[in-house]
Structure 1
Amino acid sequence: MDTTLEQRFARGAKVEGRELVGLAAPFGSETRIADFSEVIAAGAFAASLSSGRDVLALADHDPAKVLGRTSTGSLQLRETADGLEYRLTLPDTTTGNDLRALAARGDLGGVSFGFRAIRESWEGEVRTLHEVELHEVSIVQAWPAYAKTTVSLRSRQTTDDDRLAVLRHWLETCR
């Protein structure tokens, strides 16, 4: 099992008072990731969500900008027929208030999530995620590195040089 933390991006967040709500990961929708396509199977988050793991809500994948967490109830996650839904109560902090203002105007880039693949399958160039270990859900202020799809820290076949290049790109875009 590869322990590389991966990140995926989805668009859209709805503001309800101090809460952001939306779909962080759609099921059954094929998305292009670097040199392959990927589909998230229904139930892929079930084991992770039932494990009691403390999943963080972050701003732009920055662990210094915690917006909430499942252990306190400020981040709520659930699987539906559509995918992984989230409900995040924003903190009364500069970052929380800024994100709320951006969301109210429709200026947020979207939502991303960080995970490790636990069980996956391949059919040609299509990867299906059957079970993932969810680590974080991030509210993303800017556009993803790959328009309309994802930010990925791993492609299907990577070398150490490829990983360093992707990590370098990710670090530059997340500052």
Structure 2
Amino acid sequence: MKQVHKETRYLKAEQLEVRSGAEGEETRTVTGYVVRFNQRSSLIWGEFYEKVAKGAFARSLQENTIKALWDHKSNFVLGSTKNQTLRLWEDTIGLRFELDLPNNTWGNDAYESIRRGDVDGVSFGFNVRKDAWTFLSEDDVYERTLVDVNLFEVSPTPFPAYPDSEVNQRSIEAMPIESREQRRLKKEKLLFELDLLAI
């Protein structure tokens, strides 16, 4: 059975907005895009670029209860699609969200940090159901397109949520690509064999 890895991606939000409710209302809503479709990421782990295809979240939006967490911490839940305090939908640009923050300690902290601009990114946690890989020979890297992902959480967060380098290497080894190091060794072996043939 194929092991499924949790992956997270961080994106600096271009327009993470905070709205307060009308006079006398306590609702504070954060809005923005979790991810924009078909926009190439920065280089991940030095091995590949990534982009998300339109429709990649459609199945999750129909089937899953998705949580909004404060900086990926499951004990600091900010909202949920189950009770509509988190609303997610795909439009022509990307996966958009609206999040009504709770009136508790971490909800108040999130509101203030986002309002001040200290927290200006959104990260999302997912498993890959279907992806497509293309080798970009001119850049000597791959480009991964996420076609269908199992989305289970989104998080306003101040920092990228990539795992440490040891986990990165294990993650790359589990992917259906050759690392740069593997390609380098293969090329060296081929050149050595060509040298032997020339003797």
Q: Same fold (TM over 0.5)?
A: yes
Q: Per the alignment, do residues 158 and 134 of structure 1 end up closer, same or farther by CA in structure 2, a change over 3 Å counting? A: same
Q: What is the CA-CA distance between 1:2 and the residue it aligns to?
A: 4.3
Matched, 1:128 2:145: yes
CA distance in 1, matches of 2:72, 2:58: 22
On the 8 A contact 2:10/2:159 being kept in 1, the answer is no
**% same residue:** 38
Q: What is the CA-CA distance between 1:143 and the residue it aligns to?
A: 2.3
Of 28, 50, 58, the match for 1:38: 50
Which structure has more helix as a fraction of its residues?
2
Q: Per the alignment, do residues 45 and 76 of structure 1 end up closer, same or farther by CA in structure 2, a change over 3 Å counting? A: same
On the 8 A contact 1:113/1:134 being kept in 2, the answer is yes
Task: Report 1:105-120 matches (<5 A).
Answer: 105-120=116-131
Q: What is the CA-CA distance between 1:127 and the residue it aligns to?
A: 0.6
Task: Report 1:1-175 matches (<5 A).
Answer: 1-12=2-13, 13-17=16-20, 18-31=28-41, 32-34=43-45, 35-51=47-63, 53-124=64-135, 125-140=142-157, 142-144=158-160, 151=162, 155-158=171-174
TM-score, length basis structure 2 = 0.72
Structure 1, unmatched stretches of 5+, are 146-150, 160-175
Q: What is the CA-CA distance between 1:106 and the residue it aligns to?
A: 1.1
Higher RCO structure, 1 or 2 (CA under 8 Å, sep 6+): 1
Q: Match of 2:82, SS?
A: helix
How big is each residue's C-alpha offset from its partner over 1:40-62, in whole Å with a ceiling of 9 and x where there is no partner? 001100111112x1100000110
TM-score, length basis structure 1 = 0.81
Structure 1 runs (4+) greater than 3 angstroms displaced: 152-156
Structure 2, unmatched stretches of 5+, are 21-27, 136-141, 176-199
Larger gyration radius, structure 1 or structure 2: 2
Q: What is the CA-CA distance between 1:156 and the residue it aligns to?
A: 3.2
CA distance in 2, matches of 1:158, 1:131: 18
